[in-house]
Amino acid sequence: MAKHVLTGIPVSSGVAIGKAFFLNKNRLSQAPRQTIDEGLVRQEQQRLGQAFTLASQELERIRGNVPKELQEHGALIDSYLMILRDKKLGDSAGEYIKRLRINAEWALEKAVADVEQMFNAIDDEYIRARMQDVRLVTQRVMDQFAGQENGAMPVGHRVILMAHDLTAADTIELEVDKIMAFATAMGGKTSHAGILARSLQIPAIVGVEELEQSITDNSIVILDGFNGRILIQPTEDELNKYTGLQYRFEDYQRSLTRVCHLPGETRDGYRVDVFANIELFEEVTSVLDNGGEGIGLYRTEYNYMNRSTFPTEDELTEIYTDLATIVAPNKVVIRTLDLGADKLSSFGALEEANPAMGLRAVRFCMAHKDIFRTQLRAILRAGTQGHVSIMFPMISGLQELKEIKAFYFQIKEELRKEGTAYNPDIPLGIMIEVPAAVLVADSLAREVDFFSIGTNDLIQYCLGIDRTNKHVDYLYQPLHPAIVTSIKSVIDSAHRAGIEVSVCGEMAADPFCIPILMGMQVDSISLTPQAIPGIKRIIRQVPMEDCKVLLKEVLESESVAGNNVLVKEMIFRRFPDELMFYTSLLDGD
Amino acid sequence: MCDAVVQEKAISVQNEFGLHARPAAQIAQEAQKFSSVIHIGMQGREIDAKSILDILSLAAPRGTDLSLKAEGCDAYEAVQRIARLFEERFGEGR
């Protein structure tokens, strides 16, 4: 066993073995607080001004060294510079020195506290988070007071970088080609270090407890980005094991790059179309890069959130048209608004004891037809470009679906009468995610052109558990016999009616669930773009025959545990890499 | 010396993500090029257009109506230039 093992949150996969190097380990020291004589006020103000100038020059130097591929970060540095030069900081701190006769460090702390107070009053999480930028910038000034060098890493070899936290500006200064991996004491799943590590494709762990206390510069460590572990002073055996894992992962990644642009087709010729789920227009690039064959689920909620007015028809038409055009000749499935009144700030919160079962998705849209009309008209108009489909979420019965279709036809008629250009033949589909829809899938299938099974909600509604509730999340079981049977029955209903069926929940992105869905002969899947290469690799390597055998066994088994074992055995036999490199839904969090 | 003038203009936030860090930086940067005192008004509140922190504190999302007011020798040009940033959606495209 290694001398010591630390754990944290893995945010970027991979393994690194090397020497630890700490960035700014001494940064945490408290600034001194002193009162000063009146005669020293001028001198203290000059010291303050000088520290600001030096910090500003340093940032400008960093700005000048930002490589082209990181221009996003460059723009961030520009905003840091603006903050640094803001009179709310420098001028205000200067005033404090004069008025309270305190030293520059203390005065700056007070100026920052004022800004913080202003920011705390803001009802916008993003803007509130900018307070971090203010703190980061002032830390740079504080470092100047202390005469601390905040410069580049004095290293000649590649290191595993350790830091209390890594902010955008810190990461700019790093010579990225010298870094094998990151670990930080602070941070969570969405922190900047993780985003950077994934873009650089190096392993990273954040939120590591006792990182600073346990590791010293130059100690040999193994950083395991799969499991979020750091092994300090590993044994010979551990080194051998992880070196092997490292090579294997590199091979695996190369194989992903090879397959991701090939079609999702099994060795025995069975075809599964692999589409992407997206929320933002900007994600299209990532869909294409990862080999997505179109957009199987475009979530439209984003354009309605965090704003005071609803989007106009022209605005939505423009966005949908752009999307349809850029994805053409591939298709885009636009899901109509899937929000509850609780998510629309402009709407005033509705008192609902249980929003998940409340006025949301199509129920909300049918209660607010003006909002629904705007969106449907925009989709119909955008449908003149590319290949657009419409999908209605949260359908629970035939009557509801017929009413929605009647409204949709009424809108088409409006457009026709006005002489506005629109596509009269857009394919119509529905999400199957309410258990009632599973049971009446045969009659629903006769009304639409396709189904898409939303497994996340289906599992929650079917098993009656809220997955984000820590007390019951252990019951979130994708391979519960009730779930497997439900999905199978929906796929069979669709095929009996001669329509296509897709799966768009997280199950579609889970390497361990995909062979079962294939065994059910799902026509397509839709998943987060980043997961596409890994899933395609499985589809291309597993014969349909094996999927069918596995499905039969799973359907005959009566236990969740039994199903999980069956699936893992198959994956172990055929895809040992996946077993190593993925955390499955089946394992829980 | 020159004649100080007061210039005002109603503007609205049109870029997708509202006045987040980058647009705020652009506004402050532009405003600092002028000698006029420049204010942005929102719902009865007035802030200094030369301060990125003040602008951020508005937390103005897309669709917000604002008033731009400058006072000084170059007030006219200042208002024109800053209003143009809003109209061009800070170069965000949408």
pLDDT tens track for B29-79: 899 999 999 999 998 889 999 999 999 888 888 888 999 999 999 999 999
Mutate to test the interface with B, among A86, A115, A128, A305 (most CBs of B within 10 A): A86
- pLDDT, residue A24, reads 63
The two tokens of residue A579 are: 């077993």
Residues of A in contact with B56 (CB under 8 A): 119, 127, 130
Catalytic residue among B20, B62, B81, B89: B20
Name all contacts of A419-426 with Cβ < 8 Å and 24+ positions apart: A420/A381, A421/A381, A421/A384, A422/A377, A422/A380, A422/A381, A422/A383, A422/A384, A423/A380, A423/A383, A423/A384, A423/A388, A426/A379, A426/A380, A426/A383, A426/A388, A426/A389, A426/A390
Residues of A in contact with B31 (CB under 8 A): none
The two tokens of residue A518 are: 């294939």
Q: Which helix (H) or strand (E) holds A12?
A: strand A9-12
* Whether A192 and A244 share a structural domain: yes
Q: Which of A93, A119, A145 is the last residue of a domain?
A: A145
Cβ pair A221, A18 in contact under 8 A = yes
Q: How many helices (H) and strands (E) does chain B have?
A: 3, 4
Dihedral pair phi/psi, residue A432, rounded to 5°: -105, 105
User: What residue type is assigned to position A362 of the chain?
Assistant: V
Residues of B in contact with A126 (CB under 8 A): 20
Q: Which domain holds residue A44?
A: 30-145
Nearest chain B residue (CA) to A322: B94
* Whether A373 and A489 share a structural domain: yes
The two tokens of residue A307 are: 């704003």
Q: How far is CA A158 from CA A215, A303, A371, in A?
A: 17, 44, 56
* Whether A502 and A379 share a structural domain: yes
B52 with A118: Cβ contact below 8 A: no
Parts of chain A with a pLDDT under 70: 1, 24-31, 68-72, 147-156, 167-175, 189-192, 199, 306, 341-350, 579-580, 582-589
> Nearest CA to A136 among A172, A103, A107, A101?
A172
State how beta strands A331-335 and A159-163 pair.
unpaired
Tens-place pLDDT, residues A191-228: 667 777 776 778 999 999 889 888 888 889 999 998 89
B59 with A124: Cβ contact below 8 A: yes
Q: Which of A113, A145, A177 is the last residue of a domain?
A: A145
- pLDDT, residue A28, reads 44
Residues of A in contact with B52 (CB under 8 A): 79, 82-83, 86
Mutate to test the interface with A, among B16, B52, B54, B55 (most CBs of A within 10 A): B52
Cβ pair A463, A483 in contact under 8 A = yes
> Nearest CA to A580 among A15, A9, A11?
A15
ipTM of the complex: 0.82
- pLDDT, residue A122, reads 80
* Whether A94 and A166 share a structural domain: no
Using CA atoms, how far apart are residues A342 and A353, in angstroms rounded to an integer?
11
Using CA atoms, how far apart are residues A293 and A586, in angstroms rounded to an integer?
27
DSSP bridge partners of A389:
A333
- Annotate A176-242 with DSSP letters as a single string: GGGEEEEEESS--TT-HHHHHHHHHT--EEES-TTHHHH--TT-EEEEETTTTEEEES--HHHHHHH
* Whether A327 and A300 share a structural domain: yes
User: What is the residue whose two structure tokens read 């970027």?
Assistant: A12
Q: At A141, is the secondary structure helix, strand, or coil?
A: helix
B21 with A133: Cβ contact below 8 A: yes
Measured between CB atoms, which of B21, B53, B63 is closest to A88? B53
Using CA atoms, how far apart are residues A197 and A15, in angstroms rounded to an integer?
12
Number of domains in chain A: 3
The two tokens of residue A486 are: 């439900």
> Nearest CA to A275 among A36, A491, A526, A579?
A526
Cβ pair A337, A372 in contact under 8 A = yes
Catalytic residue among A73, A192, A365, A387: A192
User: What is the residue whose two structure tokens read 């997961």?
Assistant: A531
Q: Does A126 touch chain B (CB under 8 A)?
A: yes
* Whether A277 and A296 share a structural domain: yes
Length of chain A: 589
The answer, yes or no, to whether the previous bond of A329 is cis (omega within 30 of 0) is: yes
Using CA atoms, how far apart are residues B28 and B16, in angstroms rounded to an integer?
19
Cβ pair B59, B2 in contact under 8 A = no
Handedness of CA A480, A484, A487, A493 (dihedral sign): negative
Residue B83 has pLDDT above 80, yes or no: yes
Number of domains in chain B: 1
A504 catalytically annotated: yes
* Whether A137 and A196 share a structural domain: no
Catalytic residue among A260, A365, A504, A513: A504
* Whether A41 and A20 share a structural domain: no
Using CA atoms, how far apart are residues A268 and A248, in angstroms rounded to an integer?
27
Q: Does A26 touch chain B (CB under 8 A)?
A: no
CB-based contacts of A477, cutoff 8 Å, min separation 6: A459, A463, A483, A560, A586
Q: Does A59 touch chain B (CB under 8 A)?
A: no
State how beta strands B5-12 and B65-72 pair.
antiparallel
DSSP bridge partners of A274:
A525
A residues 302..331 contacting B (CB < 8 A): 306-309, 318-319
CB-based contacts of A134, cutoff 8 Å, min separation 6: A83, A89, A112, A115, A116, A119, B53
* Whether A514 and A561 share a structural domain: yes
* Whether A275 and A247 share a structural domain: no
Q: Which domain holds residue B67?
A: 5-91
Q: Does A285 touch chain B (CB under 8 A)?
A: no
Nearest chain B residue (CA) to A117: B57
Q: How far is CA B48 from CA A23, A95, B39, B45, B63, in A?
A: 37, 18, 5, 10, 21
Using CA atoms, how far apart are residues A102 and A169, in angstroms rounded to an integer?
29
CB-based contacts of A42, cutoff 8 Å, min separation 6: none
Residues of A in contact with B24 (CB under 8 A): 79, 82
Q: At A397, is the secondary structure helix, strand, or coil?
A: coil
The two tokens of residue A532 are: 């596409």
Nearest chain B residue (CA) to A119: B57
Residues of A in contact with B51 (CB under 8 A): 86-88
Residues of B in contact with A319 (CB under 8 A): 94
Q: Which of A111, A145, A179 is the last residue of a domain?
A: A145
Nearest chain A residue (CA) to B94: A319
User: What is the residue whose two structure tokens read 């520059």?
Assistant: A104
CATH number at residue A89: 1.10.274.10
B63 with A308: Cβ contact below 8 A: yes
Q: At A171, is the secondary structure helix, strand, or coil?
A: helix
Using CB atoms within 10 Å of the CB of residue A53, give its burial: 0 to 12 exposed, 13 to 18 middle, 19+ buried. middle
DSSP E strands in chain B: the ranges are: 5-12, 37-42, 45-48, 65-72
CATH number at residue B33: 3.30.1340.10
> Nearest CA to A278 among A529, A52, A571?
A529
* Whether A218 and A274 share a structural domain: no
User: What is the residue whose two structure tokens read 């944290």?
Assistant: A8
A82 with B20: Cβ contact below 8 A: no
* Whether A127 and A214 share a structural domain: no
Using CA atoms, how far apart are residues A284 and A350, in angstroms rounded to an integer?
34
